[in-house]
Chain A
Amino acid sequence: MYQFNYQRPKSLADAEALLAAADDPKILAGGQTLIPTLKQRLAMPSDLIDIGAIKELDFIRAEGNAVTIGAATRHATVAQSADVRKHNPALAALAGGIGDPAVRHMGTLGGSIANNDPAADYPAACLALDAKIHTTKRLIEADEFFKGMFETALQDGEIIKEVTFPHPEKAAYMKFPNPASRYAMVGVFVSKGPWGVRVAVTGAGQNGVFRVAEMEQALSKNWSPDAVAGIKVSANGLNADLHGTAEYRAHLITVMAKRAVAAAG
């Protein structure tokens, strides 16, 4: 790791001020992605602004027809939350399936979506559940947030504060994990709610998470695994690596979508 200055503000206002004052700062949340990146010397921030001690970013609140989760809330906390399990069991299950227990004890919702790894799980949930991403500057719709591989709509110095997930009527996430890393080879999140039907796919796209319009239309007419069974997603623009070809991933999307609809009931 290169040298850096380290700050551990106690409030969001202090964090913003520190970010604005530093030369080339980076936000540190759970560190489960950032620390390995620093260890490999793939990043050289002047300052790390650790948001891990900011209590106002660590909460889960169920109100009205939505659950709102603070950006610094750990995956394990989301997985165990009675509110999330009650109103959005698919989201709780997704959080409980990220990495391993030690990663879930540190990794956060905000860190996961800010990083936007093309194989990460939370981006699929945000997109499929029409989530609202609240930052220190504005509200960003999930549809506008994920911009491509490791890219988001976030600007310099902008901190994710919380994410609001409206309750779905039906939802499920099915992930085909890479057996070594447990990241998704392909993960499909299906949902039905006030926003209609959504199908979001992670792990497969070269540009990160994406929606499958053809499946959404088919499921709007007929919510059943059969409705998506015949839909083939094009392999164009899908990832190919030593774990699987683009065609293999394309095939997995249909299989996982079918399983997700079946699981959602």
Chain B
Amino acid sequence: MPVVSMTVNGKPASADVEARTLLVQFIRERLGLTGTHVGCDTSQCGACVVHVDGRAVKSCAMLAVQAEGAEVLTIEGLARDGELHPVQAAFREHHGLQCGFCTPGMIMTAVDMIRRIPDLDEETVRDELEGNICRCTGYHNIVKAILAASQEMR
């Protein structure tokens, strides 16, 4: 079995895996980081979004071995010294979640879009959320939270 090594949330992670192991399985089942969710397993919902070398990707559509040598960031790696990341704080403040199932993916997608796009407006946020599905909120408060965080982080 191939050995895969990567950095996850700043810590080295290495394990024997079958080549067919998905990145999301590696993260959840081998590393026990269950904040990254699997909503659909068919690339639609975005609950599994993590960052690989600084870019948001769907970890259900990537093999663990493809992340060899990469820097992976999951929802667990966002908070610093017990302080929520500004996007996490904004989701709490603006009621951007209800059941919370989509939230890890929403937040990782939001952090990525705020990094890429300095002057976000509502239309752009909605467009950028194309690959993230929420069954609860109706999206309004998610969009509000992302816009607020983007202002705050400017």
Q: Of A64-72, A94-102, A108-116, A147-155, which stretch is located at the interface?
A: A94-102
Complex interface: stretch among B5-13, B38-46, B141-149: B38-46
Q: Which of B2, B43, B128 contacts A6 (CB 8 A)?
A: B2
CA distance A49 to B130 in the complex (A): 30
Instruction: Tell me the complex Cα distance, A106–B131, Å.
Output: 13
Q: Is the CB of B66 within 8 A of A36?
A: no
Cross-chain contact A35 with B63 (CB below 8 angstroms): yes
| Contact (A50, B49) CB under 8 Å given A36-B61, A101-B130 | no
- The SS class assigned to the A binding surface is mixed
Say whether A1 contacts B20, CB under 8 Å.
Answer: yes
Q: How far is the CA of A182 from the CA of B62 in the complex (A)?
A: 20
Q: Are A52 and B66 in contact (CB under 8 A)?
A: yes
Residues of A within 8 A of B30 (CB): none
Any B CB within 8 A of the CB of A3: yes
Stretch at the interface among B51-59, B72-80, B89-97: B51-59
In the complex, the chain A residue whose C-beta lies closest to that of B65 is: A6
CA distance A56 to B112 in the complex (A): 27
Residue contact A36 to B43, C-beta cutoff 8 Å = yes
Assembled-state Cα–Cα distance A102/B65 (Å): 18
| B61 & A31 in contact (Cβ 8 Å cutoff) | yes
Within 8 A of A (CB), among B14-29: 18-20, 22
What chain B residues lie within 8 Å of A1 (beta carbons)? 20
| Residues of chain B contacted by A76 (CB below 8 angstroms) | 55
> Given A4-B19, A36-B43, does the pair A103, B58 have CB atoms closer than 8 Å?
yes
Instruction: Give the distance in Å from the alpha carbon of A105 to the alpha carbon of B62 in the complex.
Output: 12
CB within 8 Å for A8 and B68 given contacts A100-B130, A101-B112, A101-B130: yes
Check A35/B130 contact, CB under 8 A, given A6-B2, A6-B19: no
A105:B130 contact, CB within 8 angstroms: no
Do A101 and B109 touch across chains, with their CB atoms under 8 A apart? yes
Q: How far is the CA of A5 from the CA of B19 in the complex (A)?
A: 7
Q: Are B61 and A100 neighbours in the complex by a CB distance under 8 Å?
A: no
Q: Is A243's CB within 8 Å of the partner chain B? A: no
Q: B113 at interface (Cβ–Cβ under 8 A)?
A: yes
Q: What CA separation (Å) do A29 and B66 show in the bound complex? A: 10
| CB neighbours of B43 from chain A (8 A) | 32, 36, 103
- A240 within 8 Å of B (CB atoms): no
B131 touches A99 (CB 8 A): yes
A22 → B minimal CB distance (Å): 13
Query: Which residue among B18, B43, B46, B49 has the maximum number of chain A CB atoms within 10 Å of its CB?
Result: B43
From the candidates A5, A6, A101, A106, name the one contacting B62 in the complex (CB within 8 A).
A106
- Verify B46–A100 contact, CB threshold 8 A: yes
Known: A4-B20, A31-B61, A102-B58. A182 touches B130 (CB 8 A): yes
Residue of B nearest to A38 (CB): B20
Are B57 and A102 in contact (CB-based, < 8 A)?
yes
Known contacts A3-B18, A105-B57, A106-B61, then 16 further A-B pairs from the complex at CB < 8 Å, ordered by chain A residue: A6-B2, A8-B65, A31-B61, A31-B62, A31-B66, A32-B43, A35-B63, A39-B42, A99-B130, A100-B46, A101-B109, A101-B112, A101-B113, A102-B57, A103-B43, A106-B62
Interface residues of A (CB under 8 A from B): 1-6, 8, 28, 31-32, 35-36, 38-39, 48, 50, 52, 76, 99-103, 105-106, 182
Top 9 A-B pairs, shortest CB-CB distance: A100-B131, A6-B19, A100-B130, A1-B20, A105-B55, A102-B58, A102-B56, A35-B61, A102-B131
In the complex, 13 of the A-B residue pairs with CB atoms within 8 angstroms, ordered by the A residue number, are A2-B20, A3-B18, A4-B19, A31-B61, A36-B43, A48-B19, A52-B66, A99-B131, A100-B128, A100-B131, A101-B113, A101-B128, A103-B131
